[in-house]
């Protein structure tokens, strides 16, 4: 298909679109399931106050709840993907909104289940679990009782739930301010044409070969944010205080432990990540020196970090060729894995090309009872090949989890969500590096790989450290002023990037545009997931079949155990510093390799 003008949905050949008809042949089938959800929700609600009356009743309720969420997740997933095909279609908007409404309705009607289970004594519940059928729910009950001391009375929980919309205010205000109200200046692009800076084109502008374009984009964006410094500080301060409040009322020792407690992850994992990166900053400093040398500049500035250090490499890879490259890259994972990838290509899991109205970016979706669909906007670039491998990693993780686990454990924790996708990327990169002999192309690939380390492992850890510092500041009675946040953020940039770069004053405002600072200690998981993936990819390449078998066991585990344990069973222990140190040691080798080539 190559590079063509943007088409309407109907113009895309059917073989390059995903097969949503295998979910629902028509809207009538979808509506039938909607009716089922309403009826089943009402049926379950009738058990309120009775679910602990016997093991038989408890099992009935849990089975019906599983059935309800199997159906409603399929309904919502279908509506969501139909909307993503073309967001302009009012019919798809209706499907999405109705599906979302049904999801909320199901949650309301089943909200009594966990509090009622928690009202029982643990010994009483263990007695019920001995009954046939209920043993399936052992991990589920363990997880509930683990959090029992952090669950409040029914009245208090109701009050907290009613605060939901108010609690979301800081993030919603940030989103409106950053995405809707702020307007960035117009600058000149490489061809001297006027271009308005937007969130979408900011990084591409920083990747420009023209240094004047990079500098203008950098200064244009952050000068604008700086004008609203106190407003963004007030938003972030409000969000931090909100999370501290919820952590305190739920009797956690800190906001960090409250956030990590949801996945049963120890605070040590967070602290070890920061410690390991601090101990390996020398590799980043050397990479910065190489970047300065490669770009041939007297001073390296913050706006020079994204532009490729290898010029004039234009690698065009049509989709069919991209599929073959991905399959070759994933060869170390063995035939069982690769056969499922081929199945995904053949059975139309993937919506390949952009069309008018289609959602941007890429993701892996679907539900327990559907194909693990993939949305792409493939444009024949090397990045698109990596995106295909990445999303296929997510989809294979979903496929193996759903095929091998009952519905209740058919999903995987957010803590491990990026492991399979990044492992695929690492294996693909290993294949490409081993099969590329042209110096310029090899440099391009090494630069691409090292940028993943910089942006995912180093930068996300810097974000994680920033979060930790600002929460601790508020927890000890401090306040997050614009001046304090700017100073803290700039000092971290100086620590992480070292003496070889001019840390421009305006970078102090970067925290203002990062939405993840409203996600409550979320970003560290990008860095831990990346480290685990690098560790597992090396294990697969080194050990062969035994490594692959352990890895497949991880993919098939879903959420049948806590994420730290699931990873341990695969051979990587995230409670130690080893996985992060191992990933950073690989980064050090890549730095040495690119240094020799430049």
pLDDT at res. 312: 66
User: Residue 372: inside a domain, yes or no?
Assistant: no
pLDDT in tens, 139-164: 999 998 898 889 887 678 778 877 87
Check: CB of residue 425 under 8 Å from CB of residue 457.
no
The pTM score is 0.91
Q: Are residues 552 and 581 in the same domain?
A: yes
**Confidence band for 126, pLDDT divided at 50, 70 and 90:** confident
In whole numbers, what is the pLDDT of the chain averaged over residues?
A: 94
C-alpha to C-alpha distances, 321 to 327, 381, 387, 388, 449, nearest whole angstrom: 10, 11, 14, 12, 21
pLDDT in tens, 293-306: 999 999 999 999 99
pLDDT at res. 3: 43
Look at 212 and 125; give whichever has higher pLDDT. Answer: 212
| Average pLDDT score over residue span 267-272 | 96
User: Residue 474: inside a domain, yes or no?
Assistant: yes
pLDDT at res. 158: 75
Check: CB of residue 428 under 8 Å from CB of residue 329.
yes
pLDDT at res. 5: 65
User: Residue 347: inside a domain, yes or no?
Assistant: no
Residue 2 has pLDDT above 70, yes or no: no
For position 211, which CATH number holds?
A: 1.10.287.830
Q: Tally the domains of the chain.
A: 3
C-alpha to C-alpha distances, 198 to 6, 186, 202, 222, nearest whole angstrom: 21, 9, 6, 12
pLDDT at res. 311: 75
Q: In what order do the strands lie in the sheet with 374-375?
A: 350-351, 374-375, 363-364
User: Residue 421: inside a domain, yes or no?
Assistant: yes
Q: Are residues 266 and 296 in the same domain?
A: yes
User: Residue 362: inside a domain, yes or no?
Assistant: no
pLDDT at res. 153: 78
Q: Are residues 61 and 204 in the same domain?
A: no
For position 121, which CATH number holds?
A: 1.20.140.70
Q: Are residues 14 and 64 in the same domain?
A: yes
The token pair that represents 532 in the structure block: 């685990």
Q: Are residues 258 and 120 in the same domain?
A: no
Q: Are residues 270 and 210 in the same domain?
A: no
Q: Are residues 412 and 496 in the same domain?
A: yes
Q: What are phi and psi of 196, to 5 degrees?
A: -85, 130
Look at 125 and 327; give whichever has higher pLDDT. Answer: 327
pLDDT at res. 37: 97
Centroid of chain to Cα 366? 16
For position 307, which CATH number holds?
A: 1.10.1370.20
Catalytic residues, which ones?
A: 391
Last residue of a domain, one of 131, 151, 171: 151
pLDDT at res. 73: 97
Residue 571 has pLDDT above 90, yes or no: yes
Residue 122 has pLDDT above 50, yes or no: yes
Q: Are residues 521 and 482 in the same domain?
A: yes
| Average pLDDT score over residue span 512-533 | 95
pLDDT at res. 252: 95
Q: Are residues 256 and 223 in the same domain?
A: no
Residue 1 has pLDDT above 50, yes or no: no
Question: What distance in Å separates the CA atoms of residue 260 and residue 366, rounded to the nearest whole number?
Answer: 27
Q: Are residues 223 and 261 in the same domain?
A: no
pLDDT in tens, 177-221: 988 899 999 999 999 999 999 988 899 999 999 999 999 999 999
Question: What distance in Å separates the CA atoms of residue 207 and residue 305, rounded to the nearest whole number?
Answer: 8
**Confidence band for 132, pLDDT divided at 50, 70 and 90:** confident
Residue 4 has pLDDT above 60, yes or no: no
DSSP line for 55-95: HHHHHHHHHHHHHHHHHHHHHHHHHHHHHHH-TT-HHHHHH
pLDDT in tens, 386-428: 999 999 999 999 999 999 999 999 999 989 999 999 999 999 9
Range of the domain at 420: 238-249+252-317+326-332+396-598
Q: Are residues 422 and 571 in the same domain?
A: yes
Q: Are residues 88 and 213 in the same domain?
A: no
């Amino acid at each position: 298909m190559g590079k063509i003008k943007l088409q309407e949905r109907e113009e895309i050949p059917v073989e390059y679109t995903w097969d949503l008809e295998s979910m629902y042949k028509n809207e009538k089938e979808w509506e039938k399931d909607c009716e089922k959800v309403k009826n089943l929700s009402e049926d379950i609600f009738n058990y309120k106050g009775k679910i602990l009356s016997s093991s038989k009743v408890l099992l009935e309720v849990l089975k019906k709840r599983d059935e309800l969420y199997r159906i409603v997740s399929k309904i919502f997933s279908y509506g969501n993907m139909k909307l993503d095909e073309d967001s302009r279609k009012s019919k798809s908007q209706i499907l999405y909104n109705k599906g979302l409404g049904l999801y909320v309705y199901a949650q309301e009607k089943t909200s009594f289940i966990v509090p009622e289970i928690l009202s029982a004594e643990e010994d009483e519940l263990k007695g019920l679990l001995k009954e046939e059928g209920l043993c399936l729910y052992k991990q589920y009950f363990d997880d509930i009782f683990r959090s029992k001391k952090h669950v409040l009375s029914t009245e208090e929980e109701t009050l907290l739930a009613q605060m939901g919309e108010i609690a979301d205010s800081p993030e919603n205000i940030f989103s409106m301010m950053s995405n809707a109200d702020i307007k960035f200046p117009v600058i000149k692009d490489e061809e001297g044409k006027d271009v308005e800076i937007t969130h979408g084109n900011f990084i591409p502008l920083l990747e420009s070969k023209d240094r004047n374009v990079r500098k203008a984009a950098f200064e244009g964006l952050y000068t604008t944010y700086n004008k609203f410094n106190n407003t963004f500080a007030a938003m972030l301060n409000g969000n931090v205080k909100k999370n501290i409040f919820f952590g305190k009322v739920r009797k956690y020792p800190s906001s960090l432990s409250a956030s990590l407690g949801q996945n049963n992850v120890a605070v040590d994992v967070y602290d070890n990540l920061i410690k390991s990166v601090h101990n390996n900053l020398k590799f980043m400093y050397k990479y910065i020196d190489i970047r300065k040398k490669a770009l041939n500049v007297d001073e390296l500035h913050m706006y020079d970090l994204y532009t490729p250090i290898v010029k004039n490499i234009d690698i065009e890879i049509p989709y069919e060729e991209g599929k073959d490259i991905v399959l070759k890259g994933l060869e170390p994972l063995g035939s069982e894995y690769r056969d499922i990838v081929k199945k995904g290509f053949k059975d139309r899991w993937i919506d390949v090309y952009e069309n008018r109205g289609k959602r941007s970016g890429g993701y892996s979706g679907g539900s327990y009872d559907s194909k693990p669909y993939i949305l792409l906007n493939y444009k024949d670039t090397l990045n698109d090949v990596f995106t295909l491998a990445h999303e296929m990693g997510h989809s294979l993780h979903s496929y193996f989890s759903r095929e091998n686990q009952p519905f209740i454990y058919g999903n995987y924790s957010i803590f491990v969500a990026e492991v399979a996708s990044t492992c695929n990327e690492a294996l693909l990169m290993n294949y490409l590096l081993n099969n590329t002999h042209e110096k310029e192309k090899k440099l391009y690939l090494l630069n691409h790989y090292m940028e993943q380390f910089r942006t995912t492992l180093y930068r996300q850890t810097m974000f994680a450290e920033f979060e930790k510092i600002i929460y601790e500041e508020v927890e000890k009675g401090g306040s997050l002023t614009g001046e304090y946040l700017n100073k803290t953020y700039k000092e971290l940039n100086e620590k992480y990037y070292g003496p070889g770069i001019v840390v421009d004053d305006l970078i102090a405002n970067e925290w203002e545009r990062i939405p993840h600072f409203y996600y409550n200690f979320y970003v560290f998981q990008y860095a831990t997931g990346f480290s685990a993936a690098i560790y597992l990819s090396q294990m697969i390449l080194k050990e062969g079949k035994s490594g692959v078998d352990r890895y497949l066991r991880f993919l098939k585990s879903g959420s049948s155990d806590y994420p730290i344990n699931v990873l341990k069973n695969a051979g990587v222990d995230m409670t130690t510093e080893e996985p992060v140190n191992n990933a950073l040691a690989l980064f050090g080798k890549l730095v040495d390799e690119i240094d020799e080539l430049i």
